[in-house]
Structure 1
């Protein structure tokens, strides 16, 4: 106590802010938060460099770097995963519905939409005329799908692709393989047309190369071969145009690029578009039939609960 009657304040009684939450001034609080983040980042980077130097010193004796845990790496074992070297599997694909297309038959695809389609469905369907040189767009008008199947089969078309939209938004794509199926229905999402892709290029009429990637199960191989049967088996390499269908966690991503070799080891890619994502809803034997078609696969809501279980 001082002579004036006032209590002297001890320095130990002063509260020094240790965290940004203790500071009332917003500007000072923000500045301290930035400094703390920078310190943590610097410490983390220093620790990483130390570990790297330690591994270099140990050489072969260094412990193996652990692979990151991803949903793909934790995928549940599936007995339907195909071994491509299995002779039994090779015998099966030599007589399946798509065998003749891998032996030289040219695909011929008819494109159409749902009845009374919005403009977006017509534009998207006609886009496949450029992607698939042997594809031809036909207006749906009032025809039933069963009638279109008969019409296309009689004129020796090999596949029917039907783009469906609802309230001006494309929601599904059906592919029906002729003359005897199978028929696949896909949910369509994340569509980006070529004119919306920054720096997008123009498609040419060259026959595109096709990459079908990461389809590992029997169902996946069937879907992959169904896509491959839409493309000619004699791509024009001079066009340097390549279409990719990449499966990841049962979502199929479509991309289209033109490539150019900058050197023997490096290639540059120029995206052409469009971009879109497919999700398999159903695959059934035979051509389009909503009543009696036997399903090979039918997606149900409960299948999305287990995120480590994939069907393709």
Structure 2
């Protein structure tokens, strides 16, 4: 009985699908998926795409005309539609920082990074590696040294990381950066704030070295301008201040060097640029015949960005209290697989 009922339901389902297909055919709308011939299917698909594009253009023109009409009449223009994105439909997070959050700003004055960010202490960075360094590791470290002012490389050798941290404390370093490599490729970055932490562990991916960037520029020794984008939550604010503490807080703007950490969907994109100012001659379009006869030209300054490299992406794996302790350390935040159940949930 059960099997017969299933067959009957299946048959009824097929009848419904066939009825829908017949209704679409009656209306004169043929879907590309209903056409078996490949050439005809491609032609119908191209036609539908073209019609959709024309309709979109018509809507844009109608919207522009409505805005112009409203401005001419002195009325308020129609509200601009904002496209739905994963960012603007993110899940509500109670930890998002607000400009009037007095508790947050009061905490900034007493956190572990305040001395560097208030310019009471000059940042001094020790860069090292894991014990088994990779082929591209030294090249990446060399480029990090050109990005971060007052950074020094120390070979790891057989020393334990705890001993390196103690050495760095005694030598008045403010942070330790460890470049971890696996299978000849840098794959993680460990940032240890000194003397009392915290320690951040980032996954490193999409590394592109300077030599592999087309038309790259060479950075100067000037202190860079630092840009931190979209670190909106309390955790993001803390991570942003930790990154900020690696750089001096008095940039040399004459050097025209910019370092950017842009957070998008919890991926931190690193870019390193320099401004290029170019003077180009601009033709005089005036109708004055006397000016034209003298061939008077004006100079026009054009500004563009030139990437210096390297280029990479970071993703926070955990944030640990204190300096590095893999066995008995307490964690402020740890990323777990069950946190990734929603595409619209972000933590930074």
- The TM-score range, normalised by the shorter chain, is 0.7 to 0.9
1:210 corresponds, among 207, 221, 226, to 226
2:336 corresponds, among 265, 282, 300, to 300
Question: Distance between the aligned counterparts of 1:72 and 1:147, measured in 2?
Answer: 42
Structure 1 counterpart SS, 2:159: coil
Please report how far the alpha carbon of residue 165 of structure 1 lies from its aligned counterpart in structure 2 after TM superposition. 1.1
Please report how far the alpha carbon of residue 85 of structure 1 lies from its aligned counterpart in structure 2 after TM superposition. 3.2
Q: Could you report, residue by residue, the CA deviation over 1:168-221 in whole angstroms, capped at 9, with x for unpaired residues?
A: 122110000111000000001111111111111001111111011111111111
| C-alpha contact (below 8 Å) 1:212/1:224 kept by paired residues | yes
Please report how far the alpha carbon of residue 71 of structure 1 lies from its aligned counterpart in structure 2 after TM superposition. 1.1
Change (3 A) 1:174 1:67: same
Structure 2 counterpart SS, 1:119: coil
Structure 1 residues 257-276: aligned runs within 5 Å: 257-260=273-276, 267-276=303-312
2:180 corresponds, among 143, 156, 164, to 164
2:65 corresponds, among 43, 50, 53, to 53
Structure 2 counterpart SS, 1:146: helix
Residue 108 of structure 1 is matched in structure 2 by: 124
Question: Distance between the aligned counterparts of 1:55 and 1:34, measured in 2?
Answer: 32
1:201 corresponds, among 191, 198, 217, to 217
TM-score (normalizing by structure 2): 0.78
Residue 38 of structure 1 is matched in structure 2 by: 50
Structure 2 counterpart SS, 1:149: helix
Structure 1 counterpart SS, 2:117: helix
Question: Distance between the aligned counterparts of 2:126 and 2:57, measured in 1?
Answer: 57
Question: Distance between the aligned counterparts of 2:230 and 2:41, measured in 1?
Answer: 49
When structure 1 is superposed on structure 2, of 255-264 and 210-219 the one drifting more is 255-264
Please report how far the alpha carbon of residue 249 of structure 1 lies from its aligned counterpart in structure 2 after TM superposition. 0.9
Question: Distance between the aligned counterparts of 1:103 and 1:24, measured in 2?
Answer: 70
Which runs of no fewer than 5 residues in structure 1 stay unpaired?
Answer: 1-17
Change (3 A) 1:87 1:57: same
Structure 1 counterpart SS, 2:333: strand
Residue 3 of structure 1 is matched in structure 2 by: none
Change (3 A) 1:47 1:141: same
TM-score (normalizing by structure 1): 0.86
Q: Is it true that 1:66 corresponds to 2:78 in the alignment?
A: no
Please report how far the alpha carbon of residue 252 of structure 1 lies from its aligned counterpart in structure 2 after TM superposition. 0.5
| C-alpha contact (below 8 Å) 1:111/1:126 kept by paired residues | no
Question: Distance between the aligned counterparts of 1:219 and 1:44, measured in 2?
Answer: 41
Please report how far the alpha carbon of residue 63 of structure 1 lies from its aligned counterpart in structure 2 after TM superposition. 3.7
Question: Distance between the aligned counterparts of 1:216 and 1:29, measured in 2?
Answer: 47
Residue 130 of structure 1 is matched in structure 2 by: 146
CA RMSD, Structure 1 to Structure 2 (Å): 2.6
Structure 2 counterpart SS, 1:106: coil
Residue 261 of structure 2 is matched in structure 1 by: 245
| C-alpha contact (below 8 Å) 2:66/2:78 kept by paired residues | no
Residue 119 of structure 1 is matched in structure 2 by: 135
Q: Is it true that 1:153 corresponds to 2:153 in the alignment?
A: no
Structure 1 residues 76-87: aligned runs within 5 Å: 76-87=91-102
| C-alpha contact (below 8 Å) 2:132/2:181 kept by paired residues | no
Change (3 A) 1:42 1:162: same
Q: Count the aligned residue pairs.
A: 296
Please report how far the alpha carbon of residue 270 of structure 1 lies from its aligned counterpart in structure 2 after TM superposition. 1.3
Residue 15 of structure 1 is matched in structure 2 by: none
Structure 1 residues 166-181: aligned runs within 5 Å: 166-181=182-197
Question: Distance between the aligned counterparts of 2:101 and 2:80, measured in 1?
Answer: 33
Structure 2 counterpart SS, 1:76: coil
Residue 4 of structure 1 is matched in structure 2 by: none
Please report how far the alpha carbon of residue 44 of structure 1 lies from its aligned counterpart in structure 2 after TM superposition. 3.1
